[in-house]
């Protein structure tokens, strides 16, 4: 049996630990209150701070950064800590912007991480579309991450990244056996663009879960920001009868079988 410990920090940020590795997803550690611009007239205010401050985070081996250009996925404090992280894996455009040897992947490209005494990790980028069709040129590149390592019993560990439900993300069901999934939700909308969605609603995420059939599904990135259009309560109601869903308390490590 292989176990992983997952700690939800807030927003998209989690700490994932297994086999001697400590991974961090989408680091966001700024305090609440500030408004962040996302481009093309869109913006959002951060409403809650991280459950764990940077000072209490500890050493991090790898950052999995779905995209670097939105403040709710990489803020100032999160960007500062990248200098102390051995490996950053992100989009190809993000890797160019970040420099410092960041590894850039396009959808379905793979990289491998190795360290003495730990299992190798194979990381495959999965497709994301952070808005309506043909919006990538405006909203920028985003990827998810499917992680495989020796000893997994239930399948890959998958972080969807910020995405709407579309053909590319549904293709994961055909190409990856998923054991545990971090579902980025929120049903993001902005007043300036009306009804257009920029991330999955809970109902859409349920369709994805039905397609992928993971052993464990963990909702993240649905609280703490003004631009989320589904309340935490409505997300929880939508998933209430789903046995595969695990609700992780903020700031408290939770062990799952992978």
CATH number for the domain including 214?
3.60.15.10
Note down the domain range covering 122.
3-248
Q: Would you say residue 255 lies in a domain? A: no
Mean pLDDT for 100-107 is 96
Residue 81 falls inside a structural domain: yes
Q: Examine residue 203 and state whether it is found in any structural domain, yes or no.
A: yes
Residue 36 in this model has a pLDDT that exceeds 90: yes
At 253, list the tokens: 């490590």
**Based on the structure, what is the number of domains in the chain?**
1
CA separation for the pair 205, 167 (Å, rounded):
13
pLDDT at residue number 40? 85
- Neighbour-count burial for 14-39, b at 16+ CB within 10 Å, e otherwise: bbbbbbebbbbbbbbbbeeeeebebe
Q: How does residue 1 score in pLDDT terms, banded at 50, 70 and 90?
A: low
Residue 109 located in a structural domain: yes
What letters, b where the CB count within 10 A reaches 16 and e where it falls short, cover 76-100? eebbeebeebebbbbbeebbeebee
Query: Residue 68: in which H helix or E strand, if any?
Result: none
In a domain, 258, yes or no: no
Radius of gyration of the chain (CA): 17
Within-domain flag for 256 = no
In a domain, 147, yes or no: yes
- Residue 107, pLDDT above cutoff 70: yes
Residue 257 belongs to a domain = no
pLDDT tens per residue across span 150-164: 999 999 999 999 999
CB atoms closer than 10 angstroms to residue 210? 10
């Amino acid at each position: 049996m292989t176990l992983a410990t997952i700690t939800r920090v807030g927003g998209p940020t989690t700490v994932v630990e297994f086999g001697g590795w400590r991974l961090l997803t989408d680091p966001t550690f700024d305090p609440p209150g500030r408004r962040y611009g996302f481009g093309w007239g869109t913006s959002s205010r951060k409403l809650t701070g991280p459950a764990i401050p940077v000072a209490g985070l500890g050493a991090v081996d790898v950052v999995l950064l779905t995209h670097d250009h939105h403040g709710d996925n990489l803020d100032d404090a999160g960007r500062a800590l990248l200098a102390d992280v051995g490996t950053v894996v992100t989009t190809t455009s993000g890797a160019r912007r970040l420099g410092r040897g960041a590894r850039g992947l396009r959808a379905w490209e793979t990289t491998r991480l190795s360290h003495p005494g730990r299992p190798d990790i194979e990381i495959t980028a999965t497709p994301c579309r952070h808005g309506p069709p043909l919006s990538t040129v405006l909203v920028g590149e985003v990827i998810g991450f499917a992680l495989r390592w020796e000893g997994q019993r239930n399948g890959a560990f998958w972080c969807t990244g910020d995405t709407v439900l579309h053909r590319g993300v549904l293709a994961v069901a055909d190409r990856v056996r998923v054991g545990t999934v971090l579902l980025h939700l929120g049903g993001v909308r902005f007043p300036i663009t009306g009804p257009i969605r920029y991330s999955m609603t809970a109902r859409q995420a349920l369709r994805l879960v039905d397609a992928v059939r993971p052993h464990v599904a963990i909702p993240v990135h649905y609280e703490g920001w003004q631009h989320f259009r589904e309340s935490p309560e409505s997300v929880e109601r939508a998933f209430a009868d789903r046995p595969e869903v695990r609700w992780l308390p903020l700031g408290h490590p939770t062990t799952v079988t992978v």
